[in-house]
Amino acid sequence: MLVLDVGNSRITIGVFEDRILKDKYSIPTNRVGEICSISNVEPQKCLISSVVPEVNELLCELLRAHFHVEPFIFDPFVHSPIKLKVDGFVGTDRVVNAYAALKLIGAPVLSVDLGTATTFDLVDKNREFVGGAISPGLRVSLDALTEATSQLPEIDLELPDRLVGRTTEEAMRSGAFFGYASLVDGLIQRFKAEEPSLKGVVLTGGLATFLAPLLDPSYKLEPDLTLLGLSFIGEER
């Protein structure tokens, strides 16, 4: 099975065999043609989660031509495997992540995706997706800080080794990482207050591995949560 998570900046591609992620690829979303560089893959199914509708048509054409498979674009409002108790639009990736967390841990469960934005998505005790919270991501917050000030430099994403920074860069790194970890832990505690019987929290997203050492160790780290969720949905179709 071939699954694709189409994000604003990158497309992450997973190749599953017997429920095991055998290979993973990543290409820029604005260079979708690079998918044709993937070889030795003969999928029986192909499932897409996309938050960039304008690339879907070209992507599907490339998948048909290169992999000889008919792609299926997952629409949470038509194909969701869990009941959605939300008002209006909700991102496809949020529903996929919540469903994957439900399959991995059970209900109620919270999935937290640490990417460009940080999303917190709750499946309640009735196994229903009831919404969540969205915060600016760590990188977005840092970019806003440097753009809005004249003397603060850009810094690399590196874990600080102490809270008290002795240089401007160290102080920024401390505030960014420890501050953002406190934001994540604090919001999770608020979700636990809303859903006291919460079974667990699953972390995913590009920055999850960076931040995990600063967060509560009881959280489950699953970098490939979206791909796993798509594979679960694909199995059931």
Residues annotated as part of the active site:
93
Spatial contact of 6 and 55, defined as CB atoms under 8 Å apart = yes
Map tokens 């229903």 to a residue.
Answer: 128
Q: How many CB atoms lie within 10 A of CB 187?
A: 17
Distances in Å between the Cα of 199 and the Cα atoms of 104, 108, 131, 190 are 11, 6, 17, 14
Q: How far apart are CA 63 and CA 232, in angstroms?
A: 20
The closest of 104, 87, 113 to 223, measured between CA atoms, is: 113
Contacts for 151 with CB less than 8 Å, ≥ 6 apart: 168
Q: What whole-number distance in Å separates Cα of residue 225 and Cα of residue 222? A: 5
